[in-house]
Amino acid sequence: MGPDRLVSIRDTVGMRLFSHLLLTQRRGLLRWRFIITAPMNAPDATARLCIACGLCCNGVLFRDVELQAADDVARLKALGLPVKHSSTTRQSHVPQPCVGLCPDNRCKMYSDRPARCREFECGLLKEVIANELDVEDALTTIRQTIRKADRVKALLWQLGNRDKHRPLGERFRRTCRIVESTELSEELGERFAELTLAVHDLNLLTHSRFYTCEESVEF
């Protein structure tokens, strides 16, 4: 889940290109062919997709990261993660959008990130690693999903929900509760109808391409 991957990207992508160049050097001519045809391994796929995405850390796919017994809570807190504890579920978690996510989609505490973050691979990433999906097609889906999530955020903003520090699903539910208890103008009524359609549209895509059966679903 969610990338830093600076060092690993540089190492893995750099090594692949270097080996490829060696293989294409024939009869004194360098044939520059930057086409990666072999199946992508997990670090390569992560490097390409996650740096362009961040959806599993930014509150679009999940509302939090559940901490596991293996996690060093004191260390995570010292690194700046706001660890919360639920007395009802007796479960500790880190809320999303995660403060560890950098604007360029790298993880500030990559080497110390929680166990769930280490283990998580979305459906799209799994497909690329299994060589069932071309990386460019996966990137197109990521861009499409980000656009749909941005549309939901813009409509929430227009309807007065401007709390960018809350997960998207929670913001939508709050807005629904307010709308149900308020008489809306015709214009805001139309915005709300657009919002419900935009959320539905986003859900269709995230459920079909990102969630796997192991994860709980946010919206």
Task: Please give the residue ranges that form the binding site for ligand SF4 (CB under 6 A).
Answer: 1-2, 49-50, 53-57, 65, 98, 100-101, 107, 109, 113-114, 117, 121-122, 124-125, 210
Which one, of 27, 26, 44, 46, lies nearest residue 36 by Cα? 44
Helix ranges (H only) for the chain are 6-23, 42-50, 73-78, 115-119, 123-129, 135-158, 168-180, 186-209
Q: Which is nearer to ligand SF4, 138 or 198 (CB)?
A: 138
Q: Which is nearer to ligand SF4, 210 or 219 (CB)?
A: 210
Q: Which is nearer to ligand SF4, 100 or 159 (CB)?
A: 100
Q: Which is nearer to ligand SF4, 61 or 179 (CB)?
A: 61
Q: How far is the CB of 149 from ligand SF4 (least distance, A)?
A: 11
Element (H, E) at 109: none
Q: How far is the CB of 99 from ligand SF4 (least distance, A)?
A: 7
Which one, of 215, 50, 55, 47, lies nearest residue 148 by Cα? 55
Q: Which is nearer to ligand SF4, 82 or 160 (CB)?
A: 82
Q: How far is the CB of 139 from ligand SF4 (least distance, A)?
A: 9
Q: How far is the CB of 54 from ligand SF4 (least distance, A)?
A: 5
On whether the CB atoms of residues 140 and 179 are closer than 8 A, the answer is: no
On whether the CB atoms of residues 50 and 146 are closer than 8 A, the answer is: no
Q: How far is the CB of 189 from ligand SF4 (least distance, A)?
A: 33
Q: Which is nearer to ligand SF4, 36 or 176 (CB)?
A: 36
Contacts of 82 (CB under 8 A, 6+ apart): 94, 95, 99
Q: How far is the CB of 136 from ligand SF4 (least distance, A)?
A: 14
CB closest to ligand SF4, residue no: 2
Element (H, E) at 25: strand 25-26
In three-state secondary structure terms, 23 is helix
